[in-house]
Structure 1
């Protein structure tokens, strides 16, 4: 951190990532349980709500990413996104009905879910200015803090949901979004934390669409990530219901499932981080998709929770790569446009959410969660195949960079 800063910026950004982690860790494992099991929605209607929110979120994220590179202070967008999260998850807590859930997830949370990528866009720009040699490391380190929240929060949230009300997890998320807003308000009080990187100027006569141009290999990579994210969404929607129906587990087991997966992710992220110095990101992301496919295929054949808990090591290994390596991969997609590139994180996640929610609604309409997991495994393999097939020249070991003469 630069000596001119008047506040502990890295500590505040770390706290911000932890609270951001709570917003996901406290609610994501329980979304389908709340919508389908508690509020009585059909899987199809639940999937429709999530799909509508995903479509809206895709366009909103792209617009905010484009706007963030033009605004003099991108922290304003973080505040707006955080307040959307406060309103969305707060509404589910205050009005726990199908109507409240529909309004929150289809209209308000598309705003809130952009908070994650907008935070990372600020992190990248801040450290690129103040610590250019450690920017990648700081992004990874802060992403690890986000993961730590997934270690400690889901078991606690599962206990709260079992002992009190499952809607209390949405209160925890709403308050965490408020904490994120408070942290960025504090950062805005210090002029040294204001950073802005002007985007590259479009060539004369170039259209606005040229801003979004992507090389074919990158486009294939992003498509592969979307398909693998679809598999991850099928996993996250289906596994909680699979636990309580097919494996005779409880809501508390759902919390432990999420927590153990996150605990496995922490050392796995370090392992994948080491591998990024040896192998290309395309190779590693495709390998992660195949690991997720193996987990889903094996889980679909289980009949008890004990073996399932052991399989979570595979889940943590695959998820660690798809949730960490993807950040630096996506942020390099559009050269010189950090905000717009980072917004593609939301596009990938939201598109995967849309496809995954639709698949979940179709595959589980008859209550067969095992079949949904098997299809999810196939989807993960397809995503890895797209990543590999679209980048044949980027597979294997890292190539030495040419030395400028």
Structure 2
């Protein structure tokens, strides 16, 4: 380690990733229930708010990613985005109206949405600087901590939403964003945790544009990820309403569905760690799309919540692969630009959210949630095909991984 930190950095970053998980786990399973079921937004208006936020978030994310490779201190961006999340979700809790939901999700959350990727960007550059041989491992390990939040929080949030008020889930998220801000404010007191970006190397004979170059295979992979994740987003928006409406479940069942999925992700990560040493990232990501398509397709045909729970083994495995492997895959997309590459995580997520929200607005308008789930399954397998066709030479055995870069 080049500069010994006086602080328990790994413990703080672990706590940071847990609270980051809470911000998602407490709110995502209940977004459509809060907006459509409780506040009375139509599916089309809900989808429009999410789509507007996605478009704005695209520009915010790329801008922040570009800036992060030039800032003298990457911790500032995490602090700023965490404070935005605290304000946005705090507003929904304090002032639960259609107007506050639209303002928070359509205007403020596009800034807060970058917090997740900027946290992972900081994790990678910190360990690439201090412990380069463990950088990939630490990204995976801290992603596991993020998953633990998904095991613990959704069932508890579902119980709170059912017994008290659904908007309490946004209070939990706002407090978690405040905790993230506090952690990074504490880290900023230690000079050893300050990471200044190094100038990106250019290809020999290339101009400044070579710093932003995406190889055709990577571009196909990113498009495939957008389509696959778009199917997952459509599923995420639809399944809570389907559980309550089609399957006769409750808000508690919605929380259990999310918590069980996350619990299955943990052992799935061990399996993926084994497979990751033998198969390429492209193979595993394409496989994840197929697994998710099978799961969502089956989920569209079932008749009880219990049957859904039995299918969650597939959901946990597919989600673990899609969410975890994509982290390192995307962070290596643009050579020597970890910050800008990490912002592509947001671009993929935002484009997928836009695709999923638009599809939800169109398909769920008539209350036919089963058909929306079937379309989500089609999107998932289509994304896997796009990724595979663009990377036929990289399917199969694992190739030598690129080294960690800052």
Same fold by TM-score, threshold 0.5 exceeded? yes
The 3-state SS of whatever aligns with 1:166 is coil
Equivalent-residue separation in structure 2 for 1:306 and 1:2 (angstroms): 53
In the TM superposition, what is the alpha-carbon distance from 1:212 to its structure 2 partner?
A: 2.5
In the TM superposition, what is the alpha-carbon distance from 1:3 to its structure 2 partner?
A: 7.4
Alignment partner, residue 395 of structure 1: 395
Alignment partner, residue 265 of structure 2: 265
Kept after mapping to 1: 8 A contact 2:53/2:106: yes
Kept after mapping to 1: 8 A contact 2:53/2:110: yes
Q: How does 1:131-170 map to 2 (within 5 A)?
A: 131-170=131-170
Kept after mapping to 2: 8 A contact 1:125/1:196: no
Equivalent-residue separation in structure 2 for 1:329 and 1:288 (angstroms): 14
Kept after mapping to 1: 8 A contact 2:203/2:211: no
Give structure 1 stretches of 5+ with no counterpart. Answer: none
Alignment partner, residue 211 of structure 1: 211
The 3-state SS of whatever aligns with 2:198 is coil
Alignment partner, residue 20 of structure 2: 20
Equivalent-residue separation in structure 2 for 1:247 and 1:277 (angstroms): 40
Kept after mapping to 2: 8 A contact 1:243/1:249: yes
The 3-state SS of whatever aligns with 1:383 is helix
Q: How does 1:170-249 map to 2 (within 5 A)?
A: 170-201=170-201, 209-249=209-249
Answer yes or no: is 1:374 the counterpart of 2:374.
yes
Q: How does 1:294-373 map to 2 (within 5 A)?
A: 294-373=294-373
Equivalent-residue separation in structure 2 for 1:172 and 1:30 (angstroms): 13
**Cα distance per residue 1:125-175 (max 9 Å; x no partner):** 000011110100000000000000000000000011011100000000000
Equivalent-residue separation in structure 1 for 2:61 and 2:171 (angstroms): 24
Equivalent-residue separation in structure 1 for 2:166 and 2:77 (angstroms): 30
The 3-state SS of whatever aligns with 1:73 is coil
Kept after mapping to 1: 8 A contact 2:264/2:313: yes
Tell me whether 301-310 or 144-153 shows the greater mean CA deviation. Answer: 301-310
Alignment partner, residue 107 of structure 1: 107
In the TM superposition, what is the alpha-carbon distance from 1:273 to its structure 2 partner?
A: 1.7
Equivalent-residue separation in structure 1 for 2:341 and 2:284 (angstroms): 20
Equivalent-residue separation in structure 2 for 1:127 and 1:101 (angstroms): 37
Alignment partner, residue 93 of structure 2: 93
Alignment partner, residue 6 of structure 1: 6
Tell me whether 379-388 or 193-202 shows the greater mean CA deviation. Answer: 193-202
Alignment partner, residue 277 of structure 1: 277
The 3-state SS of whatever aligns with 1:200 is coil
**Cα distance per residue 1:242-279 (max 9 Å; x no partner):** 00000000000000000000000111012112111000
Equivalent-residue separation in structure 2 for 1:362 and 1:144 (angstroms): 35
RMSD (Å), alpha carbons: 1.6
Equivalent-residue separation in structure 2 for 1:198 and 1:237 (angstroms): 40
Kept after mapping to 1: 8 A contact 2:278/2:397: yes
Check 1:381–1:11 CA distance in 2 against 1; reply closer, same or farther (3 A cut): same
Kept after mapping to 1: 8 A contact 2:3/2:192: no
In the TM superposition, what is the alpha-carbon distance from 1:391 to its structure 2 partner?
A: 0.4
Kept after mapping to 1: 8 A contact 2:84/2:112: yes
Kept after mapping to 1: 8 A contact 2:155/2:256: yes
In the TM superposition, what is the alpha-carbon distance from 1:4 to its structure 2 partner?
A: 1.9
The 3-state SS of whatever aligns with 1:170 is helix
Answer yes or no: is 1:41 the counterpart of 2:41.
yes
Equivalent-residue separation in structure 1 for 2:187 and 2:401 (angstroms): 37
Answer yes or no: is 1:80 the counterpart of 2:65.
no
Equivalent-residue separation in structure 1 for 2:104 and 2:209 (angstroms): 32
In the TM superposition, what is the alpha-carbon distance from 1:200 to its structure 2 partner?
A: 1.4
